[in-house]
């Protein structure tokens, strides 16, 4: 376990459903991220939160709605998705927005949620 937990591990949803992905970290990190991982493509950064405030939205469609109630929890609310939204959604956290040094170095990732939209 890396300290970043994502649930559910797998999710199948219809295009008219509403569901949420959850990410939780117990590392004392202040920044959290949502990435989308599709086959044969680089990881795509979707959203960034720093101290619960959204600092970046990389032109993500409004059918994806993030929520960060505190520095330890991050949600991704999904509604009226399309089949092309099927992917692995990864959550990550870091001590702050900068890479950091020593033990605070880099991003820590969860195991992701495999989302299939049917």
Q: Interface with another protein by CB under 8 A: which residues?
A: 2, 33, 40-43, 45, 48, 55-56, 88, 90, 92, 97-99, 105-112, 114
Beta carbons of 12 and 116 less than 8 angstroms apart: yes
CB of 43 to another protein, least distance (A): 4
* Residue (57 or 80) nearer to another protein, CB: 57
CB of 10 to another protein, least distance (A): 11
d(CA 105, CA 59): 27
Beta carbons of 20 and 63 less than 8 angstroms apart: no
* Residue (51 or 105) nearer to another protein, CB: 105
* Residue (16 or 40) nearer to another protein, CB: 40
CB of 80 to another protein, least distance (A): 26
Beta carbons of 34 and 47 less than 8 angstroms apart: yes
d(CA 109, CA 4): 6
* Residue (56 or 82) nearer to another protein, CB: 56
CB of 114 to another protein, least distance (A): 8
d(CA 65, CA 2): 25
SS3 8: coil
């Amino acid at each position: 376990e890396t300290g970043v937990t994502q649930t559910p591990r797998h999710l199948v949803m219809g295009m008219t459903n509403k569901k949420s992905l959850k990410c939780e970290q117990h590392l004392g990190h202040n920044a959290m991220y949502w990435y989308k991982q599709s086959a044969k493509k680089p990881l795509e950064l979707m959203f960034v939160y720093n101290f619960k405030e959204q600092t970046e939205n990389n032109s993500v469609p409004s059918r994806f709605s993030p929520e960060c109630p505190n520095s330890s929890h991050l949600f991704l609310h999904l509604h009226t998705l399309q089949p092309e939204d099927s992917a692995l959604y990864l959550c990550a956290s870091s001590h702050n927005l900068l890479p950091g040094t020593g033990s605070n170095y880099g991003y820590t990732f969860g195991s992701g949620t495999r989302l299939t939209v049917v």
